[in-house]
Structure 1
Amino acid sequence: MKLRLLLALSAFLLCDAKLAGLKQIIPSNELPPNPTQNTQALRLLQFDTKNAKTRRITDQYKVRQRREVFDSKSYESSLTWAHSERLDENGDAVLRWVNSDSSITFRLEARTRGYVGLGFNSGRNMRGADLVVAWVDDRNGNAQILDCHGLEFEYRAVADDVQNYELISGYQNDTHTTIEFRRLLDTCDRQDFVIGEDTTQILWALGPPGSDGQLPKHVQSGTRPLRLLQPLSKPDDASLMQWDVRLRDLKIPHVMATLFWCKIFKAPELSKKHHMVGYEPIIDSRPIKNGRPMLEKNSLSPVHHMVLYECAEDPDDYAWNEWSKGDGYYGPNKPSEWAICATPVAAWAMGSKGEFLPENVGIPIGKRGGASFYMLEVHYDNQALHEVLDSSGIRIHYTPRLRAHDAALLGAGIGVSALHVIPPKQRQYRTVGICGSECTKTMIPDDGITIVSVLLHAHGTAKKISLKHIRGNDELPRVSEENSYDVRYQQSRIVPGGRKFLKGDTLITECTYDSTGRDKPILGGYSATQEMCLSFVLYYPRTPLAGCYSMTPAKEFFETFGVREFYGVDMTQVENTFLSSSYVEYPNLPSDQGKESEEGGMQGDDQGVGFMKELVIKEPLEFGQKTFMAHLNEMPWSEVLLTEQIEKTLYRGMHMTFCKKNDDSWGAMFFLLRDNQSHVSQRKEVFDLIRSITMQSTTRLV
């Protein structure tokens, strides 16, 4: 029987083992592999050697001195688990963990009486992944564990040369198998994944009942992005109170692909100042079928992100009280007075469980320090064009126990508009948003501020985001960075010890995108098919600063793509259009909202995309009579030299930076140009390239 068990295990490892949903594998994002993975040792020509090593390890498996077999039919862990996450929507696989400075201990609870598999990788598949497979023998209750890795060039797993996972316990009951094990964060083994600060793709798979060592094909599998080295997610504070800020029965029309909805809320009546210390999402979306909202298990909510803004004080309390009683407004149609709701206090995006602030800071709420009214902005991404009844929002946690510092959130990065362009078919294309020194000289106090956490935000093609800190001519260590960004998992990142940010310092938000799967340029905007590059910075002490962004000036932007003039409008008018939302004209809900997208459905707020489709090029003549969007779509993006020059020109060229106060007034606005001579030269080089390639294409057609 033992021989049959070992042969079956070898067959699993060498032939048909497929962890983590190999039938539905998502292609690798091809970011730099984990530095500890020995990719050279995994080439196809070395399979025979690997197979032999696997057999030797399997043969020696039960005689090793360390605990790799645990005999227990009844066991309760004595460990206190700092974190717990469902790996799937149903909770069939639950992962708990706790870490020290050098090691991490896991507990995997799975709804199966077969084997369980867990993996760690930078991509959403098992290529080069660090894998662990475990099971509990039905006959004797013995748990067993094996350290493996996925091959780089084929979806197969083999046992590691060195077994670095230590079994703590394993047992099963009538429905579940539970395995506890530990490993070092960095095992110094090239076949193991280094667990660090970046987001890790957690791979999981469950075997069928009775698969004790025979390990046939899994019956369930999936991936889940998580940051494993994160602080405790919720404070233990009995004084916490809750305030639910949520919409009520908002009907999302099936014609809307993108919709923004805004509503005013009045703060709780509090006799003294309290502190907001955390928030979590309330997702309540019910699809409407046959005219009735239905509660459906696993139905996907169209809620993409939510931001709660505090509103600056306004002596006209009557109007705000009336607005707080209403249902709210379609985003572009909200009253102009709401512009003073500009300072974010809570920012949630899909994949997040919410946030709790570090223990030394809180955001004021209530009398003598907090705002009286708040605006909730909900973005719905409804590309599937479903009709939905939604009552989603945010639950605010607050306490009368005041913390040491009054904190605030600052939005920074690239101003959201269609002037933010990512070319298609690019593996690593960078864009940058600048919070300039002129703004911080004006708005930051003499003693500076302390940054305590950062939420980095972009959409699906972003792969890396970093927040850089510049003082004078020196770049300091980065405030925060994510080298394996996954839009499905957006949680704030604590800045260890805080970061002192002084008057006149500069913040730079840099995003790197992988657009290899896109055929047309991606423009900046709120839709999930568009892109962003933002940082939400939590800091203390509070200042009047609400946002600090930059964008490429319109004239520089269009000239970078070879366009000098449009019919019927000059560049100053074009620039003013992108600095305001006055060009957007939308009728009221529920019909004919917004602009129709190329994918179908209405885009509720296109941030200038529709305007670009109306701009007809006048100069140069080579591009004449085309709309700018047609010109952009027809550019030869496969020409590497062209895209590299465009990236360099927009990245290092002129940026219009501006900062917004919490009452919607401007703190400062100015133009920043790093290297004028180089910028002019680069822009001319891009134009010459575009014209040369266009002329070659025209000649070939003739």
Structure 2
Amino acid sequence: MLALLPILRLAGLVWTDAVRASDPDLPFADYLDDERLVRLEWGFDDAPGNITFRFTVNATGWIGFGLSPRGDMTGADLVMGGVGPDGTAYFKDYYSTENSFPAEDREQSYTLLSLAESRGQTLVTFSRPLQTCDGQDLAITAGPMRVIYAYGTTDEIGFHANLVGAKDLNLLNFVPRIAEANGKYISATMENVTVPPKGTYYHCRVMRFPTLTAKHHVVQIVPEIEHADMVHHVLLYSCPSHVSTAYDGECYRGHPGDACFGIVAAWAVGGQIFEVPPNTGIPVGGGVAAAFYRLEIHYSNPNGEMGRTDSSGLRLHYTHQLRPHDVGIMCAGVSPSFPIDYDIPPRATKFRTYGVCNTTLFSQIVDPVPDLRVFAVMLHTHTAGREVRVRHFRNGERIGFLGVNADYDFNLQEVTKLGRVKTIEPGDDIVVECSYSTSDRTAPTQMGLATTDEMCLAFLFFYPKIEVVTCISQPDMTSLNQRFPLGGSLSNQKEIEEYERALRNLPQIEIAFANETRFQIYPHGHVRDATETPPFRCNHTTNAAGERASWIWNRASVLFLLAWTVLF
């Protein structure tokens, strides 16, 4: 089979680095072998939903895909299938309790969606629940899993030592290793900014991009971080048309560029190279984007070091070959810049804040409002943040999440692709919930811009782009502070929980605005009730050991054993 590799390459049947997942419902993809003959694509629902795989092999014989605790046949959960000589598809769910012959699973937990041969490849698409409650299957969890595969050049299941392998993949938290693209890029960086000796400093550079007379699409964002110990986050905004002068200095000091809020790119601590899906691009140039852009960097200098300079920023790789959809990025959550008259109490083991976005406000800015297809999210708090959830409501009922991080790490704030593209319809509600722990703090924590303050934000990446760039809220505190004065006077967790509930029940002042300073305010918003999803529990499990004697040993099973076990 390896001798065929040069021929397959000439025939265009071996994937290259440029190939990405093209199905929005299967946003993740990886090669399982070094020769790039075996490819896996997948997508998944919110737990406890389903996961869907597309498994493609450059061969037209039988193919096998499985999950294994150790990478061998012991405890493996397998499917095997192909297209027979008469064109009939075959596909079944198997298991193995030892490093021995696999058995046909009594409960066929995998659902075949399609199976075909085309241009020398076998392609099979199938789905299964993340948790099947079948003792002969492996639960798919948020940790790394060992994926195993094998295949043959004919439909007779047989041994071929070179056509078998294994790879570790974190299916539910997959972060691809992306190489920087070749070709043209725009460099948006600072130029030797002197970082002052204070804990928090925001520097802004308003600049004109190179002239692109026609519209182009940014397809990859590469961080250029010179001093990772100081750079807290990087945001690049497009400017409204009235911004016509450059600026290089401290942010929010009265320059017209302070009004630039059309998010083009975002990076925070721990972020890596980010690529948009292949059917999308972030528009720049031409008549669709402003001539000026504002680069904002939040520097954190807690030790007050003097004389340090920085030239961090972003590289935006772009193409003139336009893609079907323009990408928009919208900031949702708790208002980060307007005054908020409440603090997060000290000594709180858990304290939650809420930001609300009712998308009915969009129709007062954009007409018509299309369905928005959300494909990625970046969640953001500061160092007290422990958990972030972006709840999605329709007609008053929660229908899922647009983002969840139940183990938030300030040092790992990546743009995360969703398991499936989620659709926001006009009228839907978005609630960003952040949980904090201040058990090690003796003073209240403010909501604000400083590193020692807190934030609660979610940056939603979606298409098609609309002009709404921000949809945030803050509680109306006019009737609360008499009961709960600021300053950390709450003495125990019970009082803290009562304070949190009181804040949650206050009216929310919602604000949605576009980059051209158009905005809408709704002062009567509220945080919708969200019944917590109970932990998934199986009502029963199948006794795998009791099934071991139910299958028939045959020649195909012996050959299948050889195919999977000799190298594992």
Same fold (TM over 0.5): yes
* Shift in Å, 1:499: 1.5
3-state DSSP of counterpart to 1:470: strand
Q: Which residue does 1:384 correspond to in 2?
A: 303
Output the amino acid matched with 1:371: A
Decide whether the 8 Å contact of 2:281 with 2:322 is kept in 1: yes
Match of 1:424 among 327, 331, 346: 346
What residue is the counterpart of 1:329 in the other structure?
A: 249
How much does 1:282 deviate?
Answer: 1.1
1:448/1:643 CA distance change after superposition, 3 Å: same
Q: CA deviation at 1:421?
A: 2.6
Aligned in 2, Cα 1:263/1:427: closer, same or farther, shift over 3 Å?
same
Q: Deviations over 1:363-408 (max 9, x none)?
A: 1111132321100011001111112111111111111121110111
1:283 aligns to 2:225 (yes or no): yes
- What is the match of residue 355 of structure 1? 274
Shift of 1:443: 4.0
Matched, 1:637 2:491: yes
Distance in structure 2 (CA, Å) of the matches to 1:513 and 1:237: 38
The residue identity in structure 2 corresponding to 1:642 is: E
Candidates 282, 301, 304, aligned match of 2:232: 304
Alignment of 1:251-270 (within 5 A): 251-254=194-197, 256-270=198-212
**Quick check: 1:668 aligned with 2:521?**
yes
Partners of 1:413 and 1:432 within 8 A in 2: yes
Following superposition, the deviation at residue 235 of structure 1 comes to 7.6
Secondary structure of 1:532's counterpart equals coil
User: In the alignment, is the contact (CA less than 8 A) between 1:348 and 1:354 conserved in 2?
Assistant: no
| Offset from partner CA, 1:616-656 (integer Å, 9 cap, x none) | xxxxxxxxxxxx5xxx13x1332x32111111111122111
Query: Does structure 1 residue 659 correspond to structure 2 residue 509?
Result: no
Contact 1:548 1:658 in 2 (8 A): yes
Q: Which has more helix, going by share of residues?
A: 1
* 2:173 pairs with one of 198, 216, 229: 229
Q: What is the distance in 2 between the residues matched to 1:407 and 1:188?
A: 39
1:551 corresponding residue in structure 2:
474
Cα pair distance change 1:228/1:651, threshold 3 Å: same
Q: Distance in 1 between matches of 2:350 and 2:144?
A: 18
- Alpha carbons of 1:362 and 1:197: their partners in 2 closer, same or farther (altered >3 Å)? farther
Maintained 8 Å contact 1:461/1:515 = yes
Take 2:171 and 2:193, find their aligned partners in 1: how far apart are those partners?
Answer: 34
More strand by share: 2
Query: CA 1:236–1:394 in structure 2 vs 1: closer, same or farther (change >3 Å)?
Result: closer
User: Residue 271 of structure 1 corresponds to which residue in structure 2?
Assistant: 213
Q: Distance in 2 between matches of 1:269 and 1:446?
A: 31
Instruction: Report the alpha carbon displacement of residue 500 of structure 1 after superposing the two structures with TM.
Output: 1.5
- Which residue of the partner structure matches residue 80 of structure 2? none
Map 1:671-682 to 2 at 5 A.
Answer: 671-673=524-526
User: Residue in 2 aligned with 1:401?
Assistant: 321
Q: 1:550, 1:199 → 2: CA distance?
A: 37
Between the two proteins, the alignment pairs up a number of residues equal to: 388
**2-side partners of 1:309 and 1:277: how far apart?**
16
Gaps of 5+ in 2: 1-32, 40-53, 56-64, 72-96, 100-129, 146-169, 529-568
Query: Structure 1 residue aligned with 2:427, among 504, 507, 510?
Result: 504
Which of the pair has the greater relative contact order for Cα pairs under 8 Å at 6+ separation?
2
Unaligned runs of 5+ in 1: 1-76, 83-98, 108-161, 165-184, 201-225, 286-299, 563-627, 676-702
Of 437, 440, 462, 1:517 maps to 440
Matched residue SS, 1:478: strand
- List per-residue Cα deviations over 1:513-569 (Å, max 9, x = no partner): 12222222211122222111101011112211110000012413423514xxxxxxx
Return closer, same or farther for 1:163/1:521 CA change in 2, 3 Å cut-off.
Answer: farther
Residues 163 and 377 of structure 1: CA distance in aligned 2, closer, same or farther (over 3 Å): farther
> Which residue, out of 419, 424, 447, partners 2:370?
447
Match of 1:489 in 2: 412
Aligned residue identity for 1:637: S
Could you say which residue in structure 2 is the equivalent of 1:167? Answer: none
2:180 & 2:299 partners in 1: Cα distance?
A: 33
2:269 matched to 1:346?
A: no
Kindly state the Cα deviation for residue 674 of structure 1 after the two structures are TM-superposed.
6.4
2:287 to 368, 383, 389: 368
Alpha carbons 1:262, 1:334 under 8 Å: kept: no
Given the superposition, is the C-alpha separation of residues 237 and 392 from structure 1 closer, same or farther in structure 2, using an over 3 Å criterion?
closer
Which residue pairs with 1:58 in the alignment?
A: none
Q: Considering only aligned residues, what root-mean-square deviation do their CA atoms show, in Å?
A: 3.5
| Higher mean C-alpha displacement, 665-674 vs 363-372 | 665-674
Tell me which residue corresponds to 2:92: none
| SS of 2:441 mapped into structure 1 | coil
Tell me the alpha carbon deviations over residues 286-339 of structure 1, each in whole angstroms, 9 at most, x when there is no partner: xxxxxxxxxxxxxx531111100001223x7xx42xx1xx5x12113141x224
Match of 1:180 in 2: none
Q: Secondary structure at the match of 2:412?
A: coil
Asked if the contact 2:271/2:413 (under 8 Å) is kept, the reply is yes
**SS where residue 482 of structure 2 aligns?**
helix
- Could you tell me how far apart the structure 2 residues matched to 1:365 and 1:496 are? 28
What is the identity, as a one-letter code, of the residue corresponding to 2:499?
A: I
Q: Which amino acid aligns with 2:322?
A: L
Residue equivalent to 2:450: 527
Q: 2 CA distance for matches of 1:518 and 1:199? A: 34
Structure 1 residues 661 and 400, CA, compared in 2 at 3 Å: closer, same or farther?
A: same
Residues 104, 516 of structure 1: alpha-carbon distance in 2 compared, 3 angstrom cutoff: farther
Alpha-carbon distance in 2 for matches of 1:372, 1:277: 19
Q: Give 1:194 deviation, angstroms.
A: 7.7
Q: 1:449 and 1:437, CA in 2 relative to 1: closer, same or farther beyond 3 A? A: closer
By how many angstroms is 1:351 displaced? Answer: 0.9
**In structure 2, do the counterparts of structure 1 residues 377 and 486 end up closer, same or farther at CA, with 3 Å as the change threshold?**
same
Distance 1:436 1:228, change over 3 A: closer
Counterpart code for 1:283? I
- Residue 434 (1) aligns with residue 339 (2): no
In structure 2, the residue corresponding to 1:559 is in which secondary structure?
coil
Give secondary structure in 2 for the equivalent of 1:234: coil
* CA 1:280–1:197: 2 relative to 1, 3 Å: farther
Q: What displacement does 1:79 show?
A: 6.8
Deviation per residue, 1:399-442 (Å, 9 max, x gap): 11211101111000000154353222222221110012442343
The SS at the match of 2:481 is: helix
Q: Is the contact between residue 477 and residue 506 of structure 2 (CA under 8 Å) also seen in structure 1?
A: no
- How much does 1:228 deviate? 7.1
Give the aligned residue type for 1:636.
L
Secondary structure (helix, strand or coil) at the match of 1:440 reads helix
Deviation at 1:486, TM superposition (A): 0.6
**Equivalent residue letter for 1:272:** A
Would the alpha carbon gap of residues 277 and 78 (structure 1) be closer, same or farther in structure 2, given more than 3 Å must change?
A: closer
Give deviations 1:260-282, integer Å, cap 9, x for gaps: 01111212222311101121221
2:191 corresponding residue in structure 1: 248
Higher alpha-carbon deviation: 516-525 or 375-384: 516-525
Please give the secondary structure, in 2, of the residue aligned with 1:332. Answer: coil
Contact 2:202/2:297 (8 A) holds in 1: yes
